Amino acid sequence: MTLLLKNKHSLKIDDFNFKCCVGKKGITSFKKEGDFKTPKGIFGIENLYYRKDKIKKPKTILKCIEIKNSMGWCNDINQPKKYNRLINTKENIKHEKLKRKDYKYDLLIPIKYNFKKPIKNKGSCIFIHLTKNYKPTAGCIALRKKDFLIMLKLLKKNTKIKIN
């Protein structure tokens, strides 16, 4: 099964088309850390991370992980062993905090971009997460909550995302 980002405003899975938004500077084959671009290619997806204090555990075949205060995703290019990985925020390294004050990471799925053997400065923290207004992201793909919940029911463990 493949999620298909048809263009910067449309994510398709099976017969469902969802409105979405992507990076402020569009889609690229040459992603760099902090460039506000969404990477082009075909990638696996990771587990579902969710805020148990805000949302009940969604129905999905994906492994569900409750977001804790101490969870972050490393975007520190000077930490090659931890770069683009889930980390404990108590470590003194740059990271994207997963437990945010806003709603955007109440549900999130990391995209396995630059994932197996991350190359520093090639980009990190590329997620599918929530939006309310479809404003462009820092490089992620964002959907409204109701669409995200429908998408979760359709995903399989081996689902890939194709970003054109």
What are the structural domains, with CATH classification, of the chain? 2-163 (2.40.440.10)
Q: Please, are residues 19 and 9 in contact by the beta-carbon 8 Å criterion?
A: yes
Q: 68-97: per-residue pLDDT in tens?
A: 999 999 999 999 999 999 999 998 899 999
Q: What is the model's pLDDT at position 8?
A: 85
Q: Please, are residues 106 and 143 in contact by the beta-carbon 8 Å criterion?
A: no
Q: What is the model's pLDDT at position 3?
A: 94
| pTM of the shown model | 0.96
Closest-CA residue to 132 (of 91, 161, 104, 94): 104
Tokens 């990391």, residue? 110
Question: What does DSSP say about strands 160-163 and 2-7: parallel, antiparallel, or unpaired?
Answer: parallel
